[in-house]
A = this chain, B = another copy of it.
C-alpha cells in the first residue's frame, strides 16, 4: 500500500500539469547509460563486476533525478549551456555511486546483515564480504573521480564545489554520521528532535546534497539556491518518514528488501515515536513545506522537483 494519502487539493492546484513518467523515463535512460559506460571499467575483473552489480539495473535513482530536476529548474529561466549539462549528468551519477556504496556497506554482516536488496542477493552474498567492502570503497572514490574530469569542459570551480558538497553530504557530518547515530540508537528512546537529526544526516544530507549539486550545475542565484536547499531538507526528511512508514505497512516483496526490520532491530522510527497516523500526517506536512519552498524559489518551472517530492511521499516501495 502507499505510505501516505494523496496531497490536498490546495497543494495540487499550485502545480501546472506535468507528467513525471516520461520525464523520469528519459532522464533515467541517460543516467543508466552513463553509469553503465563509466562504472567498473579499468578495474580488476572481480572488483569491477562487484561495482557494476552494486550500481546497475536497480534502484529508484531518486538522487540522480533530483540532481537533474534541480539543474533543469535553475536553467528553466536561461538557455542551458552544453557544458553544465555534462556537469549535471556527472553529478547525477556521482550521488548515485555514493548511495550505492552506502547500501553495499550497510548490508554487510557487521551492519544490517541483509541478504536481499532490490530483489537480488546483496553484494556481499554474491561476491563475498571482502570484495563488497572494496567495491564500496572504490565506488566512493569513483564518485569524486567522476566529478573531476580532466578531459571535459566542466569549469574547475564547479568541479571543486561539487566535490565539496558531495564530501560533506557523504561524510561524518552527513550520511556516515547519521549511520553512526543509527548504530548507537538501537534500543534507545530518542526524542523527535534526536530522531530528526539522525535522519537529516543519514538520508537527508545526500538527498538535499543532490538538489544542491543540481543547483550548482545550473549556476543558481543565491535566493534560488537557498529555496532549493529548503526544498531539499523538507523532501529529504519526508523520504525518511515515509521509509519508516513503509517498513511497517509494506511487505518484503513490494519493498525489494526485508520489511519490518526496524521494529525487529528495536530501532527508533517515526512510527514508533508518533504512531502510524501522525507519521503519515507529518510526511504530508513536509511535502507541503517542500512545495512552499519551490514556490519561494522564484524559478519559473519547478514542476519536475514538485513531482519528485510527490513521488517520495506517495511511493509504495
Interface residues of A, Cβ cutoff 8 Å to B = 40, 42-44, 46-48, 51, 101-102, 105, 108-111, 128-131, 133-134, 136-138, 140-142, 144-145, 147-150, 156-157, 159-161, 163-164, 166-168, 170-174, 176-177, 179-181, 183-184
What are 27 contact pairs spanning A and B, CB under 8 A?
A43-B180, A44-B172, A44-B181, A47-B177, A47-B180, A48-B172, A102-B137, A105-B133, A110-B129, A111-B130, A130-B183, A131-B180, A131-B183, A134-B176, A134-B179, A134-B180, A137-B140, A137-B176, A141-B167, A142-B171, A144-B164, A147-B163, A148-B163, A148-B164, A149-B164, A156-B161, A159-B163
CB distance from A303 to the nearest CB of B (A): 31
Task: Decide: A184 near B105, CB < 8 A? Known: A129-B110, A156-B156, A156-B157.
Answer: no
Q: What is the bound-complex CA distance between A47 and B175, given in angstroms? A: 12
Q: Give the residues in chain B near A142, CB-CB below 8 Å.
A: 167, 171-172
Q: Give the residues in chain B near A136, CB-CB below 8 Å.
A: 137
Contact partner, A168, options B110, B129, B145, B170, Cβ 8 Å: B145
Question: Are B148's CB and A160's CB within 8 A?
Answer: yes
> Chain copies in the assembly?
2
Q: What is the bound-complex CA distance between A40 and B176, given in angstroms? A: 12
Task: Decide: A145 near B133, CB < 8 A? Known: A43-B173, A177-B47.
Answer: no
CB distance from A51 to the nearest CB of B (A): 7
Question: Are A164's CB and B150's CB within 8 A?
Answer: yes
Q: Give the residues in chain B near A42, CB-CB below 8 Å.
A: 172-173
Q: Give the residues in chain B near A46, CB-CB below 8 Å.
A: 180, 183-184
Q: Give the residues in chain B near A180, CB-CB below 8 Å.
A: 43-44, 46-47, 131, 134, 138
Q: Give the residues in chain B near A170, CB-CB below 8 Å.
A: 137, 141
Question: Are A140's CB and B138's CB within 8 A?
Answer: no
